Structure 1
């Protein structure tokens, strides 16, 4: 699996994460050129600008700065008329300033500031346009999450200036860039901004260039494929990062950018015109702005062209009123992570522990819903990922198993976290090394751990199960599963039994089998099979006790199907299918009784989220996530909001968001 813009790590029990669609950002170096060109659009007699600004976008649309450290100036691009006045709302964090003429952001943040969306408005006598920039200020730098470029795979013609190729990131601000090997003759990279510019002078065969972006904490990488040809080549394979966005009236959208291969695109067009409040950048193809009116699902056709040809794609946009809910940003974690755990504590805080970022992590932190911020806490004794975390009846958290960096080293160890003391302590170890298992709190306070992957790939899926007794801090064996499995789900039923279903069996096949654990006898018995074999799916128990299994993978493709288990009859029945197939997503029962499904992967990481209504058995699309992600966590907070944290998007994410 590739994460962090090119860092490869091995996970023996994960679906292959396919290449992710890459967000493309606009270039700050275009500002001066665009402004100069737009300034020539006056009527010639009185100098009045004939066109309003269009397609505004900041260089880094989502960034985390550090208190007391000067930022690299944040620049704006614009494909419309020259901007004569800039404004921002709400006011920027203390120490940062907006240039009233160029909309550039500069300065040194002087105080910690929560993640906030700021609306930048550029105007002239012909009108105005706006875009968003999301800024957080932490007390110390954090690592960048990921690094991507405007053009990832491109063919340039010789002796023609290229459109500056601009990087963009999430997470901590990147302060230094380098590239290896050296770029084709005539091209250069700015070591501070990472912008690639120049005029290629020599025909050059296709080659992969590794760009490294770093700050004082860590680095990330992006891979660029660049070819220089004697003549221009037509663009090809045009798609949008989010091809099915659902926007909310009055909420600034996250920039939606195209991705293409082939010859460099020099101009974009769209048909029909975007709804009021949204803006299209004809130089970069970005869609930005704040929608002001509702729009039923509508398909727009976008054409990217250059002197050699063109390619057309489509994007389907919906703009809805915020009747059901919307996603809003929360502070980034102090550590980017995936395959971690998130546990709601009795006091309403959320404990996030372990996971992976380049390697397994031991760090842990709290999310405080009263401040929407993260606080570092004591670290685990062992680094681990793909482990389990269970809230015990006494308020402590049991973390068990998982594996370290790389496959083949599953753990037996377990630790306890005391939220009052804020400390971890060792407890008894399991008899079996395991990761990607399930852990279920039984009614009597014991914890049932079942299945998972054992030590090394030859061990494969496990059928063993164990019980943890918090009173003694020890584990004891219990009956074995009928079917060895990993990456399955486990649900405590109203009668105290535990339903285990699906997952991956020995040999890697997706499973349709399901079984029940009876705590009274310590034995497992088969129950009705699912209608669809599914691995890496999500399950949620409905208010009436039925269990919803949704999405996943059949071993080849992501699934859109969903089905319900009825404990009264021990059978599964199909229900409405998702609008978007997905695996490695989350499913969360809301206080309304509906189920929120978010993110996942269907060949690329997803923004789209959906709501399941048990009364109708149907799904409806709700506002898109702000960051595409998979292998994240989703936690229902005490106030009814849902916290989504981490996962894999553009690299491994520290970014979190809240569904209201």
Structure 2
């Protein structure tokens, strides 16, 4: 059966063309109504028109039962009455839109996947068009056409992003602001000559720090309209927590902190405030239903933050490691389990978080946990927020047998090259057997200064863990273009690459906030610069420390939130959120913006024929 496909304008549409017309399908013919919205930053086009750099449009449809693609071109100023693009009815159709310039080069791209074309019906398809092969800001929360504006309901950093079954993304919690007043001695500054922190008299001192405060809301981003469409209340403020998708589409939020101190002495940066005295996020889990906008409490197995989490296919969520408070000190979770402590592993199967019987081989604060089939792989981590340890890079847990396997074997000589385990790194599955680990905080030698322990700094390393290798040993680590930690990763993209975004670099302190991107694959010796189709190097519109990066169903990546700087020991930067008050500094450090990265720059084949310059 064939249906007729149309693109038409709605009240919100910025494009009005027609596919299928009276001569082909009849004036009342059914079809596909495309409703387009464009990203910010192009100048407000008149209502009903596309951005000014579009000379023509191409619309293509592909899917089962269609050989290749069915495409048609339209000039910007034409209204193609009688144009006919007939598409067989069926499920799982992919609709692509390209807006090209007068030279025929695509400038604006949009895609809808999983579209069902129904005979004798008109199916609306919403598309958010972004710059092809580039970065484009998402639309404003309030629907405004142009920045400056808030693109998230509140500033967020070290939040979570969870892609839902319908393709929308839930952005939950995170730090909302950083207090302007320091919670340490403000006279304590980094002294490069001594390699440590000193006060005005030149004596060693405790470094300055600031207090970060978490938020108790969640935003729902809809890729089809290009903006946050709904905001929910959480039961408690939480940041540095985990969020896991359950089979019914609800999201399990576990642990986190309401407040944390931000440090700058080169150790891993965050030290949770006390886990008692009203800081309930660490003790309470909740189950958020993004369809109903409701959240219900879940009994948690003790206070926990900065842990790993992963969902297994049968719907069981496993929580690994993290940090808690013991005898007044913040320590990593794992190894020996003390009475009253959270278990090294915990699982959720519908009602409560329950203790797992398998301990971690090492305490792991700030690890990364990913599910690989029925196995759980926990990578990196530290004994405590201010101390790293040597040990196996990762461990594999088999829930069915309750066996824990080191990865690689503790006697593997490759461990000598790493020494300490990374924290604040990323771990991205690239296929059913391999995980790409990138960057992270690693120990470096300190020969002077007030602290005897090793100092830490971002590293430019990647590591590929191959579960399919007979020895389960990591491969030779390729290198990133620059040191990177506290960043985000998304992938694999269509070509198998992983996108790394933001974070901090340098050998500081102070450390350098990053607005750069790079793409890396397991086969490469190092990362590569991200460029658009014309060879221009891309960068985020603001530095983003602790952002999220989410691979969307259409192959694009949503990059959201993050700190715009680490202000410890220096003055606060310009506001990271448009209506923040830099003087009060409540939101000056935290971004309320988000942007879309389109990883492809298409070559239209055959070349466009409509609307081109003579």
With normalisation by structure 2, the TM-score equals 0.46
Select the structure with the greater relative contact order (CA < 8 A; seq sep ≥ 6). 2
